[in-house]
Amino acid sequence: MNNGKKLVLSALLLALVQVGFLGWMIVGRAAVLRDGREVLLKVEPVDPRDLLRGDYVILNYDISRLPLSMIADIGEVRHDLVPTHSVTVRLRREEDGYWRAGGAWLKTPPNPAGADEVDIVGQVPSLNLAHVDGEVRVTYGIERFYVPEGEGRAIERDMRVRPFGVRAAVSSSGTAQVKALMDGENMLFEEPLY
Amino acid sequence: MMARYVVRLRQDVERWTKAGLIDRLTAAKLVADAERRDRNSFGSGTVLAMMATLLLGAAILIFVAANWEAFPRLLRVAVLFALIIGGYVGGAVLKSRDHDAFGEAAWIVAAAAFGASMALIGQMYHMSGDESAAMLTWCAATAVAALVLRSGPLTVAAVGIADAWLAGSLLGGLRTLSNLETPLLFLPIAAALFAISYWTRSQAARHLILLSLVAYVTWLAADGDAFEVGFLMACVSAGIFAVAHIAPRETDNIVRINGRLPLHALIAFLVAMALIQVELEGGPGFIIAAAVTLAGIVAALLLQGPQSRGLRGLAYLAFAIELCLIYGITMGTMLGTAGFFLFAAVLLGILAALIIRLEGRMGRSQAERSGA
């Protein structure tokens, strides 16, 4: 009986730790949504074959491709082969309301972001500098938008004829989080905190 | 399987008592012992419970994946969290009341619910990044649960998740943000799970890990230099086979898989030789590789055949396939269909003679052992 009690107790502890871990994930993500700076990103049409897999839309942004020359400290990387690396991209708000990349660094930026600027952290894949023709692909962890089943096709169609945008929240550490999917000025979906 | 053994034993014991080989008291004791062991074993009831559990787990995962909009998602999270807590705690309660199969089943459901929660959180916050890290987290959580609850089935589940992760990263279907998460990471994961399986007394997990390692090396060979990796794999597995044959008790004390290490070594050897033969097809080296394969099969049969029925079955099958392969590649062009039938007949005859001789030898050696 004593043994049984011990087992039940350790099972309870285990369950609480695992649920606590999952809860911590949720709270962390919600904090980005609540406290992060809001930016509006322009969505670019994607090759329709890649657009919809299952019930999410794949999003491609104008900041998903950056000219290699924009990365200020790329010259400091001595090797031809840069492994997967995080990159800090400085976003600036432009007149049409969208935020676009103004500069990028592989290391910590030399000066902090200004009042109308936001730093977002992305990942560049491992790349051979000798074979890159001027552009590099950056992912920010916001390249997916889950939609109610069956609605993806219509969005896919519209995205190719009208400009779409994503309102994203960016935390002070640069983690980005999708807040809302915009069809021009209209908000299609907005995410609650939880 | 065990239940059938008890039935057979009962018939044998009855025959022995009638023949006066053993007395009634010993007969009753023997049957009682077999029946007691049978209750503790992995019976068909456990298998059914596990299958039901897997179905339930799959239902949970699909239920979330379907992006079910009818209920608020916070409710879905709550349901999954309740499943985790209820599964682990309920399983422990069931287990402490001697309902082992249902207890383990409840724990598997809880582990599945953890994976489903990870998927749901990813969906809630439109996370597109790190599928690889998510699967590894799931694997780690399941392994920790196996460790804490000392559960064999959870250990097997963790190995299964690690296998799925390996398959995903080998096929390139998993997104990852980290340089560390290469398929090579499978080796330390496999080592850790192997270690955990001793504590959780899960022989099945160790079997699965060994098979996964063979599969991983096979992929490496097929992906890279098939001859080189295949050669190395054949040598290593032959070496392991030799060690396991010379010191069976010592090796099984280390791996503890009920003396089946030679079987795993033979599987690895056959896969390696198949890779080599495919690589050498059409060249003069093929016939040497084929001869080595046949010699290996016969050696395995002679050395380990008497001890293991599984190994005998595998060796016979491999022998037949190997002869067909040799025929197909070397003689297929020379002989017609009639020739093939003649060849097949001769081949089956040789195979039958070999098997009969071997079984005869086995029977004799067993009789000698029991006579001594």
The confidence score (pLDDT) of residue A124 equals: 83
Residues in chain B closer than 8 A to A13 (CB atoms): 148
How confident is the model over B348-363, as a mean pLDDT?
74
Interface A-B, measured as beta-carbon pairs within 8 A, has a size of 118
Alpha-carbon gap, residue B185 to B180, rounded angstroms: 7
The confidence score (pLDDT) of residue A53 equals: 46
How confident is the model over B202-219, as a mean pLDDT?
91
- How many other C-beta atoms lie within 10 A of the C-beta of residue B356? 10
Residues in chain A closer than 8 A to B84 (CB atoms): 15, 18-19, 22
A15 at the B interface (CB within 8 A)?
yes
The confidence score (pLDDT) of residue A13 equals: 92
CB–CB of A11 and B91 under 8 A?
A: yes
- Here the tokens at position B145 are 């649960």
Treating both helix axes as pointing N-terminal to C-terminal, what angle do B100-124 and A2-35 enclose, rounded to 10 degrees?
A: 10
- Extract the residue ranges of chain A whose pLDDT is less than 50: 49-53
pLDDT digits (tens, 9 = 90+) for B73-83: 788 888 889 98
Per-residue pLDDT at B112 exceeds 60: yes
The confidence score (pLDDT) of residue A51 equals: 45
CB–CB of A11 and B88 under 8 A?
A: yes
Residues in chain B closer than 8 A to A14 (CB atoms): 88, 144-145, 148-149
pLDDT digits (tens, 9 = 90+) for A9-40: 999 999 999 999 999 999 988 888 888 888 88
Q: Decide: pTM greater than 0.80.
A: no
- Output B52-55 pairs: Cβ under 8 A, ≥24 positions apart: B52/B105, B53/B104, B53/B105, B53/B106, B53/B108, B53/B109, B54/B108
Alpha-carbon gap, residue B295 to B279, rounded angstroms: 19
pLDDT digits (tens, 9 = 90+) for B287-324: 788 888 888 888 888 888 777 788 888 888 888 888 77
pLDDT digits (tens, 9 = 90+) for B25-66: 888 888 888 877 665 555 666 777 778 877 887 777 676 666
The confidence score (pLDDT) of residue A78 equals: 56
Collapsed DSSP state (helix, strand, coil) of residue A122: strand
Treating both helix axes as pointing N-terminal to C-terminal, what angle do B24-40 and B2-19 enclose, rounded to 10 degrees?
A: 180
Determine the distance in angstroms separating the CA of A42 from the nearest CA of chain B, rounded to an integer. 17
Residues in chain B closer than 8 A to A16 (CB atoms): 85
Best of A5, A13, A14, A137 to substitute, by most chain B Cβ atoms within 10 angstroms, is A14
Q: Which of A118, A117, A138 is nearest to A74 (CA)?
A: A138
Give residue B229's pLDDT band: very low, low, confident or very high (50, 70, 90).
confident
The confidence score (pLDDT) of residue A15 equals: 93
Pairing of strands A81-82, A99-105: unpaired
Alpha-carbon gap, residue B227 to B276, rounded angstroms: 5
What are the Cα distances from residue B102, in Å, to A5, A145, A183, B306?
17, 39, 51, 38
What are the Cα distances from residue A138, in Å, to A143, B7, B33?
10, 66, 66
